[in-house]
Structure 1
């Protein structure tokens, strides 16, 4: 763990990534529950990723990008 708080741009970027994930999910007319089923992640995890409230793993981001059929780079740009 870091001994100092993260710079503000880190949680801001997390929220921006979550916003892009949510926008793509909604565009594809998927619920958080359905995206969770496609990724084998629970709905609460999907929600936390979309809200940017928790530092998710690269594995989760890869699963989400694959389920949405979009390049990971498009979500984390």
Structure 2
């Protein structure tokens, strides 16, 4: 099965911007990646990959992260 082409640059830039917003909100709440992962029901490595923009976040994980940070999802993806 052929592999999918890499995402365009604008998608990668948006992914990094989303990760930056998650990191900023996490730090504002003085949470470690481990604690955010616990609150979101995820593992720390997944949080790290999303914050770094290395992994496309599933919408379900974004729902979990937004809830754990107690902010509307729209504020993360603006």
Q: TM-score per shorter chain, which class?
A: over 0.9
Name the TM-score, length of structure 2 as normaliser: 0.93
Cα offset for 1:63?
Answer: 0.1
Structure 1 residue 2: Cα displacement: 6.7
Q: Distance in 1 between matches of 2:62 and 2:37?
A: 12
1:72 aligns with 2:76: no
Query: For 1:54, what is the secondary structure of its paired residue?
Result: coil
* Counterpart in the other structure of 1:7: 8
* Unaligned segments of structure 2, at least 5 residues: none
Runs of 5+ unmatched residues, structure 1: none
Shift of 1:18: 0.3
Matches within 5 A, 1:1-77: 3-77=4-78
Q: Which runs of 4+ in 1 moved over 4 A?
A: none
The 1:2/1:42 distance shift into structure 2, 3 A limit, reads: same
TM-score scaled by length of structure 1: 0.94
